[in-house]
Amino acid sequence: MGERNAGSFGIIARKSLFCLFSVTSILFILSWFFVLRSTGRPHFIDHTLLPNSKLLSTVENGSTSTQSQNDVDSIGNRSILVDAEEESSSSSSPPPPPPPPSSSSSSQDKEAPQAEQTIEFVTNNKVVLKVFMYDLPPEFHFGLLDWKPEGNSVWPDLRSKIPDYPGGLNLQHSIEYWLTLDLLASELPDAQSPRSAIRVRNASEADIIYVPFFSSLSYNRYSKTNPHQKRSNNKVLQEKLVRYLTAQKEWKSSGGSDHLILAHHPNSMLNARMKLWPATFILSDFGRYPPNIANVEKDVIAPYKHVIRSYVNDTSDFDSRQTLLYFQGAIYRKDGGFVRQELFYLLKHEKDVHFAFGSVQKDGVHKATQGMHTSKFCLNIAGDTPSSNRLFDAIASHCVPVIISDEIELPYEDVLDYSEFCIFIRTRDALKEKFVINFIRSIKKDEWTRMWKRLQEVEKFYEFQYPSKEDDAVQMIWQAVARKVPAMRRKLHKSRRFSRSLVRKERGLRSIPSPRNFW
């Protein structure tokens, strides 16, 4: 009997110890839970792992965008998705203000303003591109403008006189002129700040190497041969440029992959582009380039300089712009431009539609300015190449662009949402009877007004001027180039992994891996 009591007592003791241990463990775990909560640790986990969090903001290349289920103010790209409307918010617009605090999420709301302050700091921290520019002879740049150098300098003195650029259609591809002026101005004692690019004299300090060849001007002025010439001056200059660049130590060091070449006119650099393709090109589109020579990953799309006059102090509205849809330009084009003539036959008899042939001659620019300033929508249709200056004329006119060009690439589209101020229509849809006119008529006053207001906000991104100003076309192009630099460096560094081994092999030495390529 005593043995039974002793055994029962042992069992009870063990059970009591187990219960005591369990209670102690639970209390220990609960205490750590409250400690972690008081330090904000669960808040951090919630905001970094859960979707639709304010800390799930994209911070890339100096730009930010905050995702939220309620951020649907934009009208979206109605025409690409014909069967359904899609709403999206622009990555270039500032993030919306945080929602008011609620009693159920007070700990989360306390830290949200701090996160937004960090994002704002990154946004305002603009990258300044360091650019090494070759001192090419004047025949490659300002000499094409009939500028004569004084003394040993190959560049004009911007403090005394700035060489004029020819007007007319030459202006639309003049970006080489504005970018070069901006680099030269960065060296002046009274250079304005902030800047997006500065010139450096040592190539080893540079992010990119700039080739100041006015290739579009060379094509426009010197692509035709004289009776006594076998080759045009434009072709001769391209041949000289290839010989010059490939002989430079900077080109040999990188194979040209860190060089920047301007070829904005679709026909510029026709002879040299196949030999200089490792460089980054600044282009208007990829219409006349094979994808292995130029592509959106490697190269930069820049806007045309608009030809018509900007609409300053625009007091118009939906009702005062009497023309519904406007197009004036060349109608019969090659390649993808066949859609122009098809649309001409579909739209020429529609009410409130202006669809006519036009050119810069016979006061054509003035007429186009008046037409676009008094129209609600302006057609931008593919021509011989996917892009045209008409898009940027429409932006300057605050005339909502209607883009019918399936292969078009747009400037700064990695940071700018064009669906906020442009309408996109696929070519196959545009060629359907009544599709374009019915679609445009379905856009009501409030929707058009939102797009019209957005056009006035973004128009500064497409203005070329000297001296350049913050967020104008010159500064935006430099920023677009700066966003290409990390990928450019990565590719260059990878190409050098085994370069030392190859040199040793060529010298007949045993290849010994260096620390950087050993792994």
Give domain status of residue 420, yes or no: yes
Q: According to the model, what pLDDT value does residue 226 have?
A: 86
Which residue bears the tokens 């970094």?
Answer: 48
Q: Is the dihedral angle over the CA atoms 142, 144, 148, 154 positive or is it negative?
A: positive
Confidence of residue 514 (pLDDT cuts 50, 70, 90): very low
| Average pLDDT score over residue span 162-173 | 92
Tokens 């180039």 label which residue? Answer: 481
For residues 506, 509, 511, 513, the Cα torsion angle rounded to the nearest 10 degrees is: -100
Q: Are residues 287 and 331 in the same domain?
A: no
Q: Report the number of distinct structural domains present in the chain.
A: 2
Q: How far apart are CA 454 and CA 394, in angstroms?
A: 13
Does 370 map to a domain?
A: yes
Q: State whether 295 and 329 are in the same domain.
A: no
| Residue ranges making up the domain that contains 287 | 129-301
Mean of the pLDDT values across residues 381-401? 95
pLDDT number for residue 17? 63
At 11, is the pLDDT very low, low, confident or very high (cuts 50, 70, 90)?
low
Does residue 403 sit in the same domain as residue 297?
A: no
Would the pLDDT of 503 be above 90?
Answer: no
Q: Span 428-440, mean pLDDT?
A: 96
SS3 90: coil
Instruction: Evaluate the CA torsion angle 486, 492, 494, 496 in order and state its sign.
Output: negative
340 and 293 in one domain?
A: no
CATH number at residue 330: 3.40.50.2000
Mean pLDDT of 76-104: 37
85 has pLDDT over 60: no
Q: pLDDT class for 208, splitting at 50, 70, 90?
A: very high
Q: Is the pLDDT of residue 27 over 60?
A: yes
Asked if 296 and 328 sit in the same domain, the reply is no
Q: State which of 446, 462, 478 marks the end of a domain.
A: 462
Length of the chain: 519
Structural contact between residues 426 and 406, judged by C-beta atoms closer than 8 angstroms:
yes
| Residue where a domain terminates, one of 301, 334, 349 | 301
What's the confidence (pLDDT) of residue 347?
95
Task: Map tokens 């911070």 to a residue.
Answer: 59
Q: 284 lies in a domain?
A: yes
- Determine the pLDDT at residue 507: 57
Residue 274 shares a structural domain with residue 153? yes
**Are residues 133 and 207 both part of a single domain?**
yes
Whether 163 has a pLDDT exceeding 70, the answer reads yes
Top-ranked range on mean pLDDT: pick from 103-107, 116-120, 185-189: 185-189
Residue 101 falls within a domain, yes or no?
Answer: no
Task: Give yes or no: residues 249 and 351 share one domain.
Answer: no
Please indicate, yes or no, whether residues 248 and 353 belong to a single structural domain of this protein: no
User: Would residue 243 count as lying in a domain?
Assistant: yes
The reported pLDDT for the residue numbered 99 is 39
| pLDDT given at position 254 | 94
- As a whole number, mean pLDDT of residues 459-478 equals 96
* 498 contacts: CB under 8 Å, gap ≥ 6: 517
Residues 308 and 397: beta-carbon distance below 8 Å: yes
End-of-domain residue from the set 301, 334, 358: 301
The answer to whether residue 285 is domain-embedded is yes
330 with 442, same domain: the answer is: yes
What residues does 501 pair with on adjacent strands?
none
**What are 225-241's pLDDT values in tens digits?**
988 888 999 999 999 99
Q: Residue 34: which pLDDT band, with cuts at 50, 70 and 90?
A: low
What average pLDDT does the segment 368-372 reach?
95
Label residue 415 exposed, middle or buried (CB < 10 Å: 0-12, 13-18, 19+): buried
The pLDDT mean for the chain works out to 80
Letter string b/e over residues 18-38, b meaning 16 or more CB atoms within 10 A of that residue's CB: eeeeeeeeeeeeeeeeeeeee
Domain presence at residue 418: yes
How distant, in Å, are the alpha carbons of 15, 18, 19, 20, 119 from that of 9?
Answer: 10, 14, 15, 16, 66
**Mean pLDDT of the 145-161 span:** 93
Q: What is the pLDDT of residues 260-279, one digit of tens each?
A: 999 999 999 999 999 999 99
Quick one: 276 and 133 in the same domain?
Answer: yes
Q: pLDDT at residue 39 above 60?
A: no
Per the model's pLDDT, the better-predicted residue between 110 and 394 turns out to be: 394
Render pLDDT for 107-133 as a digit per residue (tens, 0 to 9).
333 333 333 333 232 334 578 999 999
pLDDT band at residue 338 using 50, 70 and 90 as cut-offs: confident
Q: Within a domain: residue 75? A: no
Instruction: Provide mean pLDDT across the span 252-265.
Output: 96
Q: Is the pLDDT of residue 362 over 80?
A: no
191 with 267, same domain? yes
The Cα 466–Cα 161 span in angstroms is: 12
Q: What percent of the chain has pLDDT over 70?
A: 71
Whether 61 has a pLDDT exceeding 90, the answer reads no
Identity of residue 57: S
**pLDDT confidence of residue 25:** 73
Amino acid at residue number 97: P
